[in-house]
A = this chain, B = another copy of it.
Amino acid sequence: MIIVTRIGVTDEEVDHIRERVEALGLRTHISRGDTHTVIGCIGDEEKLTSAPLLSIPGVRAVHPVMKPFKLAAREFAAGPSRIPFGSGSIGGEEFVVVAGPCSVEGPEMLFETAEAVRSAGGLGLRGGAYKPRSSPYSFAGLGLRGLEILAEARSRSGLPVVTEVMDTRQVEEVAGHADVLQVGARNMQNFSLLTELGKVHRPILLKRGMSATVRDLLLAAEYIMKQGNSQVILCERGIRTFETATRNTFDLAAIPVLKSETHLPVVADPSHAGGRRDLVAPLSFAAIAAGADGLLVEIHPDPETAISDGDQSLTFDEFHTLMKGLRPFAAAVGRTLPPVREVASTAAG
């Protein structure tokens, strides 16, 4: 921590600042400039994190020197982390596309979707059983029944399943049915939930909150990791800005920024980022080009009748086209994709 004093700070004030810092267990190093005095704090910076240094008379600015996260920091691991996923992993050479409906609406539509995912080269199935909805009058998911359908779809298709958990009380139940537990954007700073998920033996897919900085996202991951679960997958899904042409503003740069800050894998959700079906492909191509490890894509057998998020869901045919479209980009970044089975197109949408 570096403390910068106000112009005209008195010696007494500097002494008082130094005493406060030393009382918290750090050493200090005073440097007097032409107009300001700078007080370097040497030792465990964590002890100062919540200390109200700005309220000490004479202090004008406080600059941290250390990153606020540790376990998630790139320096903490020897290399990029690979999180096991189905028979493969996320974070390695394979580019992992997870697809499925916004909500699990029933068994048939999900089984059909799982087949479409698999045949197009998708490696995981997503689907919501517990749905966070802005309005209490919207469909909130099938709950436990939805989880059972997901588990059944997994058995049939062999695809690992990703689904959202919204409440500490659901953690055990969701972990009993799904392969990866998703934390939605609105719960990214639900610290009770993060803490519970840190005790689970399942990978966590952590979506960035709508107003969360990259730093906030990494601190949220740190919550989970601090409890012992280091299997965290980060997901960029757009942030909230003034632009209304898209549902959210896809912060593409967050992908390489995260890659430079953390060893954790990073995936993108082009469906929520754009909120428009026609943007899913260009955003997906951009994500893989920028270094993402995978995608989360919403697809539906008949988007026009989807209970939720139909406007941003791809048909099976569109998904099939997307997966084929990804191949040259995967090649460009040295990633692999499972083969696309050509029959899929006819069977689907």
A53, chain B: closest CB distance, angstroms: 8
| 8 intermolecular pairs with C-beta atoms under 8 Å apart | A2-B38, A31-B40, A49-B138, A133-B191, A134-B216, A241-B251, A250-B251, A286-B287
Shortest A293–chain B CB gap in Å is 13
Q: Contact between A303 and B52 (Cβ–Cβ < 8 Å)?
A: yes
Bin the interface of chain A by size.
Answer: 35 or more
Interface stretch of the complex, out of A92-100, A107-115, A309-317: A309-317
A243 close to B (CB within 8 Å): yes
Q: Which of B56, B167, B249, B287 contacts A304 (CB 8 A)?
A: B56
| Distance in angstroms between the alpha carbons of A172 and B130 in the assembled complex | 23
A278–B259 alpha-carbon span in the complex (Å): 11
**With A and B bound together, what is the CA distance between A226 and B260 in angstroms?**
41
Q: Could you tell me if B137 and A166 are in contact, using CB atoms closer than 8 angstroms?
A: no
Interface residues of A (CB under 8 A from B): 2, 4, 7, 20, 29, 31, 33-36, 38, 40, 42-43, 46, 49-56, 61, 63, 65-66, 68-69, 75, 132-140, 166-170, 186-187, 189-193, 195, 209-211, 213-216, 219, 222-223, 226, 239-246, 249-257, 260, 273-274, 276-279, 282-283, 285-291, 303-311, 313, 328-329, 331-333
